[in-house]
Amino acid sequence: MRIFIILIVMLCNVAYAQQNVSSGRLDILRDVAEVGFLRATTVKPFTFPKDHGAHPGYRHEWWYSTGNLEGPEGRRFGYELTFFRLALAPEDKKQIEENKSGWKTPVAFAAHFAVTDVEEEDFHFFDRYSRADGRLAGTKGTRVWLEDWSLEQSEDGWVIKASEGDIKLNLDLKQVKPPVLNGDQGLSRKSEAIGNATYYYTLPRLQSTGSIEISGETFSVEGLTWLDREWGTSALSSDQQGWDWYALHLSDGSDLMFYNLRNMDNSRHSYSAGSLISPTGEKTSLKAEDVIIEVTDYWESPLGGRYPSQWRLSIPNHGINLNIKPVINNQELNTIPRYWEGAVDVIGQRGEDIIEGQGYVELTGYSR
């Protein structure tokens, strides 16, 4: 469950501001006409590399990469680079007419880029928006870009490029596990309502090498990237106020993803779910009741709102007990809307074995 919803809310908020001034975000989301869009209702076969590309017809889609990187002398970095494709209105299927402006499209792109510099305790974040006119931003085959930020499939993996101001990121990602189809063979239902679902797959463990440049200093880095791909038309149901998402690379070679959909009373929604992925790529689905999460610390945002900042996550069926802690507390993106997405360290046990790891956590619906 990703921050796309807030982005849609933001765009719709302004587009529909005449009708909605004071109502909450989720109300607005429900008002957005979904007529004319495709919906994720049934299980569909995935084919690659075709499904790495865009899925026009659905209202939203995203490419979501996060990763932990290590530079010379063990210097730690985290990064996030995400692309959101948002159709503000159903796309016209008509052929492009002659003398039509190349700027014409109802599809917008948004992108967020963040770098966590653990040693300096710095968090750099940027956001961009553009129309998806296929020039400034868009998708072409398996390439997605917004101006000079891009994610594109290469021969044996992916290439990431992003830079803003004096922060630059260049990474080659190598795929070591096959794509994991989350939920029911890739159909990820978010509530009881039919069609309130997305198609959701993950490339959980991408070996990443490249460089980060900060203020003119370049660091060679390597580490692991998590890439999520998701598309659909509907989103949260009315009784959900936000979500916590965990994506962890564990030292035994397994990977863990879980999203905790929060009800209005902060309790867990029954459609919360996750995937436990073995070192060889086999997926075990996790249901809401399979995972126990206890918040052990909080962080007050200087901008307002209290975020959880330490967790104890256990999956009794698999003997997993993990302590999760952000590498630095302030990894909040003061974008519109505001949310927290940051690199975390993991330490714990799996059965009798000590297990370590790194990962990313996303927290939305906490900013006040």
Interface residues with another protein (CB under 8 A) are: 10-11, 13-15, 17-18, 21-22, 88-89, 99-106, 108, 129-131, 135-136, 147-148, 163-164, 336
Q: Give dist(CA 101, CA 353) in Å, integer.
A: 61
* SS3 state of residue 91: coil
Min dist. Cβ of residue 172 to another protein (A): 20
Which region holds residue 138: left if phi is over 0, alpha if psi is between -120 and 50, else beta? left
Shortest reach from residue 302's CB to another protein, in Å: 16
CB 201 within 8 A of CB 179: yes
Closer residue to another protein in complex, CB, 191/364: 364
Structure tokens at 32: 């957005």
Q: Which is nearer to another protein, 102 or 302 (CB)?
A: 102
Q: Give dist(CA 285, CA 333) in Å, integer.
A: 30
Q: Give least dist CB 284 to another protein, A.
A: 41
Q: Alpha-carbon dihedral of residues 365, 202, 281, 313, nearest 10 degrees?
A: 0
Cβ distance 107 to 88 under 8 Å? yes
**Contact status, residue 271 vs residue 191, Cβ threshold 8 Å:** yes
Nearer to another protein, 326 or 365 (CB): 365
In angstroms, give the least distance from the CB of 163 to another protein. 6
Gyration radius of the chain over CA positions: 20
Instruction: In angstroms, give the least distance from the CB of 325 to another protein.
Output: 31
Task: Please identify, using beta-carbon distances, which residue of 161 and 318 lies nearer to another protein.
Answer: 161
CA 265/CA 235 separation, integer angstroms = 19
Nearer to another protein, 122 or 133 (CB): 133
H helix count then E strand count, the chain: 2, 23
Nearer to another protein, 199 or 340 (CB): 340
Can you spell out the DSSP letters for 287-328? Answer: EGGG-EEEEEEEEE-TTS-EEEEEEEEEEGGGTEEEEEEESS
Residue closer to another protein (CB basis): 178 or 305: 305
Residue 233 Cβ vs another protein, minimum distance, rounded to whole Å: 16
Which of 113, 114, 111 lies closest to 130 in space, CA to CA? 111
Element (H, E) at 260: strand 255-263
Q: Which is nearer to another protein, 12 or 256 (CB)?
A: 12
**Tokens 């309130």 found at:** 196
**Least separation, in Å, of the C-beta of 67 and another protein?**
22
Taking the complex as a whole, the smallest distance from the CB of residue 88 to another protein amounts, in Å, to: 5
